[in-house]
Structure 1
Amino acid sequence: MRFLLYSLMALMVLQAPAAAAGTLDKLRQTGVLKVGYREDAAPFSYKSEIGEAVGYSVDLCRTIATRLKADLGLEKLSVDYVPVTTEGRFKAIKDGRIDILCGATTATLSRRELVDFSLPTFISGASVLLRADGPDGMKALSGHKVGVRGGTTTEEALRNTLTKLSVDAEVVTVADHQDGLEQLEKGAVSAYFGDRAILIFLAAGSKSRDILRISEQHFTFEPYALALPLGDSGFRLAVDRTLSRVYRSGAIETLFRSSFGKEAKPTGLLQALYVISTLPE
């Protein structure tokens, strides 16, 4: 009996480090950071024409990788970019296929049951992209079709907004933002609902931009953040430390312009977010 007790205690001691091992330990062992990114969420996270992962959130994660390499004293830390879908992105974190999710991800309480989140990285809000020859706003969309990316907080926001405004419109879910834009361009839908920053980027790159316009209204305010493994406080601290340094130093403005355009500047609301989110050392 005593031998069995000692054996169990020894087994528990041996297993404890493995159970406590987190992402930072894994980085020390493998020298690889697995970054999950969306291929179709420009300007935050997307695949470029030459097949590279690019965007505002991806650039933040590159900065984090550089800082982790230095802080952990690693000779080398390579970054493996792993494409993820809207539906499978959180499962990819839970299953260990990615270490950090760098996309257009809204931090919510329900999602925090599945993953942890970094400090806020952006604040966006749902708005609507319209055709110049169509309805002039959300309240005029009764009897029309409204596109939205399916399975997102934006779809939920659209349905809530239509109900709140008593607008009897048909919601058409699409697979990705480019599909939604194409549906709007050819008139299959009268409006496309999405995060305003993404809508601005879509409209600017559209061949039909002269017939498109974006509503000035914000129907939601959504804080974006980087999603991380649940309960990995050491890794989250390392990520938040880098974000705080980037915000405090002003380097975030350079990063912002590289994704949103040379003349782009963070809005007053976004600048306030950077200031408020920055934590002292």
Structure 2
Amino acid sequence: MGRRRTALFLSAFALLFSAAAEAATLDRIRDSGVIRLGYREDAAPFSYADQTGLPAGYTVQLCQTVVNAVRAQLQNDAIEIKYILVTAETRFAALQSDDIDLLCGASTVTLERRKEVDFSLITFVTGSSVLYRKDGPANFLDLVGQKVGVRAGTTTDEGLKRALKEEGIEAQTVALESHEAGLHALETGEIAAYFGDRAILAMLGSKAENPANLVLSDRFFSYEPYALALPLGDSAFRLLVDTTLARLYRSQAIAKIYRANFGNSQMSDLLRATFTLQALPE
């Protein structure tokens, strides 16, 4: 009987601890009056610092919509946003160390990453591709013996090495500290091509000194589903985030956010289908 009581006590304690962990984010926000959003400054048009230095981008706007939902649920319109700069290398560690509450970047959902953090409903769908110079290699197979740049600390880094191996191409991969550094290396001829998520490459190419000198490949080398990353095991907060996104997807608001960040670029059929499939009912 003593062992049974002990087992029941431990089970009850575990349930209480689990419930407390699940509510941790919203409780902390309620107590502090602050929600901390992690953002990147080099992942336009998803997450970047604008000309005034303020966080901006498609994913940042999605997070701002989540903040409004948090304010409504906690009945506190005075909850402040604290933006915390993260990098491709530090973003998930910032969640694990409780430095941020929500990651508003260009983060690909992978099963390996789900061991460390949770993810919301999918927020965008893209894939890795290649940006070339017009006077350089014309296609991926021409990269034999060339230097190919990629942003360090991203899934595209691994994707590039995998794509080169699958094609039997011996090329030197160069890990760069930012997408802007990759663009500079490409324009100055330090690398023959730059590998990255196609949506980011499209925006990057438009910022070049001479965009007409660059060519963006139509080929996709991977499937990259983006989502908002949040603390592992906090189901209450995740439900609020997913509910906010599902409501966006059921309305025209998501189209407005898309146009505000991608301009005249047409939304792909795949992305439209993604929003439709995730417009979950209440």
Please classify the TM superposition score into its range, dividing by the shorter chain length: over 0.9
- Report percent identity of matched pairs: 49
Cα distance in 2, alignment partners of residues 145 and 162 from structure 1: 12
Preserved contact between residue 86 and residue 151 of structure 1 (Cα < 8 Å): yes
Matched, 1:110 2:122: no
Instruction: Return the offset for 1:24.
Output: 1.1
Cα distance in 1, alignment partners of residues 193 and 265 from structure 2: 26
Preserved contact between residue 180 and residue 192 of structure 1 (Cα < 8 Å): yes
Match for residue 278 of structure 2?
Answer: 277
Q: Which of 170, 174, 177 in structure 1 is aligned with 2:176?
A: 174
Q: Which of 128, 131, 143 in structure 2 is aligned with 1:129?
A: 131
Equivalent position amino acid for 1:271 in 2: R
Instruction: Return the offset for 1:75.
Output: 3.5
Equivalent position amino acid for 1:127 in 2: S
| Alignment root-mean-square deviation, CA | 1.8
Equivalent position amino acid for 2:181 in 1: D
Cα distance in 2, alignment partners of residues 21 and 69 from structure 1: 15
Equivalent position amino acid for 1:164 in 2: E
Instruction: Return the offset for 1:208.
Output: 2.0
Partner-residue secondary structure (3-state), 1:241:
helix
Cα distance in 1, alignment partners of residues 167 and 84 from structure 2: 40
Matched, 1:38 2:37: no
Cα distance change on mapping 1:167 and 1:19 into 2, 3 Å: closer
Q: Superposed, which structure 2 residues align to 1:65-80 within 5 Å?
A: 65-80=67-82
Equivalent position amino acid for 1:32 in 2: V
Cα distance in 2, alignment partners of residues 269 and 21 from structure 1: 34
Preserved contact between residue 256 and residue 265 of structure 1 (Cα < 8 Å): no
Partner-residue secondary structure (3-state), 1:154:
helix
Preserved contact between residue 256 and residue 264 of structure 1 (Cα < 8 Å): no
Cα distance in 2, alignment partners of residues 24 and 128 from structure 1: 41
Measured against aligned partners, the alpha-carbon deviations of 1:68-124 in whole angstroms (never above 9, x if no partner) come to 111221141111100001111111101111000000000000000000000000001
TM-score w.r.t. length of structure 2: 0.92
Matched, 1:88 2:77: no
Cα distance in 2, alignment partners of residues 137 and 75 from structure 1: 52
Preserved contact between residue 125 and residue 218 of structure 1 (Cα < 8 Å): yes
TM-score w.r.t. length of structure 1: 0.93
Cα distance in 1, alignment partners of residues 177 and 208 from structure 2: 18
Match for residue 154 of structure 1?
Answer: 156
Match for residue 224 of structure 1?
Answer: 226
Equivalent position amino acid for 2:281 in 1: P
Cα distance in 2, alignment partners of residues 24 and 49 from structure 1: 32
Cα distance in 2, alignment partners of residues 268 and 250 from structure 1: 16
Q: Which of 183, 186, 201 in structure 1 is aligned with 2:185?
A: 183
Preserved contact between residue 45 and residue 55 of structure 1 (Cα < 8 Å): yes
Partner-residue secondary structure (3-state), 1:109:
coil
**How many aligned positions are there?**
272
Partner-residue secondary structure (3-state), 1:92:
helix
Match for residue 25 of structure 2?
Answer: 23
Match for residue 252 of structure 1?
Answer: 254
- Which moves more between the two structures, 72-81 or 235-244? 72-81
